[in-house]
């Protein structure tokens, strides 16, 4: 601390710094105090604080004033000084004498600076949590019914609710009649027992649209081990679940395909002697009265061969000839045949959206026509034989070996009866049919599946009862010589 007593000489210096200065106590590291008086202090004051320093000395009405300024010392130290001054006025309104005390408040200021660092850090953490791409919520376990006390921005975008709408409420407002009761029980138990839980359940956004929520609940405990709060992490796994479901279905079908291949091997070997020896007998008994019996046996064997052949289209090499061609051409050519096959009550609309940007695919024309025929046949049947089938070709994206990532997407859409979940799950299975005996073989979709797979593509169904069905075929784009020769980009 220091006492100072300054009598400015206003004639020599309009700022009031010159004059006589009496200083008692520490110099705070200021050099030249004795020789240069307040000028030396002014020189030591940090540039940013010079103004607040000078304000202490300027002419004023007030009898006392206080202020703070920093000194930047020659050795690099910064000293925070607090100045408490009294002023005696001269008749002309200018200070005749300024005297008071100076305190070193560096330690206090440094502590406060640290405090604001901590606050800044806290703010930063909050901002980070707020900006996290995963939805984060916190609920107070010490208030009745565990209300939400925090929700980050991702929660708002995920659910469509704003924080103001949800803070203070229990998070179960996201649940609906389609929320899995087993999952709700798990959540309930976790909250009651204060334990961690992870569930997937259907939730609804503010606008009513459902999404599959993967919810992780974790308790927060205080020092004494009491659960004071819960963290809830929400993520929308709707697409992920759909992909998993499609993967599972594909694996099931492939396993089934391998089994079919095995059975086909057995049956083919059984049919071989039946066919050959029956034909040998027919050749030897051309004019025999009992020849029709042999014809009947042969007929059965050939029918069995046809069925096995259909089955194998889905699981076995076909020796087909795949060529690289423009997807739009492929589709046009196939439709010529299909229009004849679907019957007079069915209108086929074709939308080609690939424009000049052609997509080259590798496909066997006959096989592709078969696929489209099976899909169109199903669509026609679903609409009871009258209605419109919309076939659209658009560029799409798929992951396939040796492909550009682009693909030709062919959607076959009908407005027929649609399928419920159970039917949709089994639709690709060989022999699965909901049609009366004689009308359905249950092979249409399984054959289509096998053929599309042969072409390196994918086939999926999107359907709901009453809404109709869209069957989607994706064929990977290939880049070949043909393509380079014909491809034009605008």
Partner 1 sequence: MATILVIEDIPSVMLSLRVVLEGGGHTVLCAGNGDDGLALLRRGGIDLVITDIWMPGKLGSAVIAEGRGLAPDARFLAITGGAPNGSITPDHLVGAGADFGADGVLFKPFQRTELIAAVTELIPAVALQP
Ligand X SMILES: Cc1cc2nc3c(=O)[nH]c(=O)nc-3n(C[C@H](O)[C@H](O)[C@H](O)COP(=O)(O)O)c2cc1C
- Min dist. Cβ of residue 135 to ligand ADP (A): 37
User: Does position 434 bind ligand ADP by CB under 6 A?
Assistant: yes
Nearer to ligand X, 184 or 328 (CB): 184
Beta carbons of 178 and 198 less than 8 angstroms apart: no
User: Does position 234 bind ligand X by CB under 6 A?
Assistant: yes
Q: How open is the CA angle 350-356-360, to the nearest 5 degrees?
A: 80
User: Does position 444 bind Mg ion by CB under 5 A?
Assistant: yes
Residues 334-353 that bind ligand X (CB under 6 A): none
Q: Where are the beta strands (DSSP E) in 377-421?
A: 387-397, 406-414
| Distance from C-alpha of 212 to C-alpha of 52, rounded to nearest angstrom | 61
Q: Applying CB under 5 A, which of residues 159, 378, 403, 463 lies at the interface with Mg ion?
A: 378
User: Does position 159 bind Mg ion by CB under 5 A?
Assistant: no
| Distance from C-alpha of 101 to C-alpha of 25, rounded to nearest angstrom | 10
- Min dist. Cβ of residue 262 to Mg ion (A): 24
Helix axis angle, 238-284 relative to 444-454, nearest 10°? 100
Q: Applying CB under 6 A, which of residues 52, 86, 101, 175 lies at the interface with ligand X?
A: 175
**C-alpha separations of 249 from 424, 459, 483 in Å:** 10, 11, 34
Q: How open is the CA angle 452-453-456, to the nearest 5 degrees?
A: 95
Where b means 16+ CB within 10 Å and e means fewer, 136-151 reads bbbbbbeeeebebebb
Nearer to ligand X, 26 or 162 (CB): 162
From residue 188 to residue 217, what is the string marking binding to ligand X with x (rule CB under 6 A)?
Answer: x--x---------x-x---------x-x-x
User: Does position 221 bind ligand X by CB under 6 A?
Assistant: no
165: Cα separation from own chain's centroid: 24
Nearer to ligand ADP, 18 or 374 (CB): 374
User: Does position 187 bind ligand X by CB under 6 A?
Assistant: yes
| Distance from C-alpha of 159 to C-alpha of 481, rounded to nearest angstrom | 49
Residues 243-302 that bind partner 1 (CB under 8 A): 257-262, 264-277, 279-280, 283, 301-302
State the residues that interact with ligand X by CB under 6 A.
137-139, 146, 170-172, 174-175, 184, 187-188, 191, 201, 203, 213, 215, 217, 230, 232, 234
Q: Which residues bind partner 1 (CB under 8 A)?
A: 257-262, 264-277, 279-280, 283, 301-302, 305, 312, 315-319, 454
């Amino acid at each position: 601390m220091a006492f100072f007593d300054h009598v400015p000489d206003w004639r020599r210096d309009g700022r009031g710094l010159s004059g006589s200065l009496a200083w008692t106590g520490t110099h705070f590291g200021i050099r030249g105090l004795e020789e240069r008086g307040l000028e030396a202090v002014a020189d030591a004051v940090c540039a940013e604080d010079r103004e607040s320093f000078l304000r202490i000395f300027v002419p004023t009405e007030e009898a006392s004033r206080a202020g703070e300024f920093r000194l930047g010392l020659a050795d690099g130290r910064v000293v925070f000084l607090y100045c408490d001054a009294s002023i005696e006025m001269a008749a002309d309104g200018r200070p005749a004498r300024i005297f008071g005390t100076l305190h070193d408040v560096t330690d206090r200021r440094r502590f406060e600076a640290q405090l604001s660092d901590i606050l800044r850090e806290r703010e930063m953490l909050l901002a980070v949590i707020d900006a996290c791409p995963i939805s984060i919520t916190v609920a107070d376990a010490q208030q009745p019914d565990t209300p939400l006390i925090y929700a980050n921005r991702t929660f708002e975008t995920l659910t469509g609710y704003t924080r103001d709408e949800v803070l203070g409420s229990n998070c179960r407002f996201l649940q609906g009649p389609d929320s899995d009761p087993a999952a709700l029980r798990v959540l309930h138990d976790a909250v009651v027992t204060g334990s961690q839980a992870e569930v997937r359940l259907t939730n609804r956004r503010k606008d009513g649209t459902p999404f599959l929520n993967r919810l992780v609940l974790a308790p927060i405990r205080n020092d004494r081990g009491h659960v004071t709060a819960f963290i809830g992490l929400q993520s929308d796994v709707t697409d992920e679940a759909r992909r998993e479901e499609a993967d599972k279905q594909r694996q099931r079908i492939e396993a089934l395909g391998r089994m079919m291949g095995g059975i086909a091997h057995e049956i083919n070997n059984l049919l071989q002697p039946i066919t050959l020896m029956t034909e040998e007998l027919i050749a030897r008994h051309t004019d025999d009265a009992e020849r029709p019996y042999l014809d009947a046996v042969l007929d059965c064997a050939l029918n069995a061969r046809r069925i096995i052949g259909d089955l194998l289209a889905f699981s076995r090499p076909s020796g087909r000839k795949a060529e690289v061609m423009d997807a739009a051409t492929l589709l046009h050519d196939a439709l010529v045949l299909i229009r004849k096959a679907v019957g007079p009550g069915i209108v086929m609309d074709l939308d080609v959206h690939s424009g000049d940007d052609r997509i080259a695919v590798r496909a066997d024309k006959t096989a592709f026509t078969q696929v489209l025929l099976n899909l169109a046949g199903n669509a026609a049947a679903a609409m009871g034989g009258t209605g419109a089938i919309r076939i659209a070709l658009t560029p799409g994206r798929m992951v396939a070996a040796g492909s550009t990532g682009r693909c030709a997407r062919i959607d076959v859409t009908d407005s027929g009866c649609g399928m419920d979940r159970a039917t949709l799950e089994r639709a690709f299975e060989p022999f699965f049919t909901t049609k009366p005996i004689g009308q359905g073989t249950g092979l249409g979709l399984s054959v289509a599946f096998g053929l599309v797979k042969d072409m390196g593509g994918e086939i999926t169904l999107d359907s709901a009862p009453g809404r109709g069905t869209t069957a989607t075929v994706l064929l990977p784009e290939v880049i070949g010589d043909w393509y380079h020769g014909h491809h034009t980009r605008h």
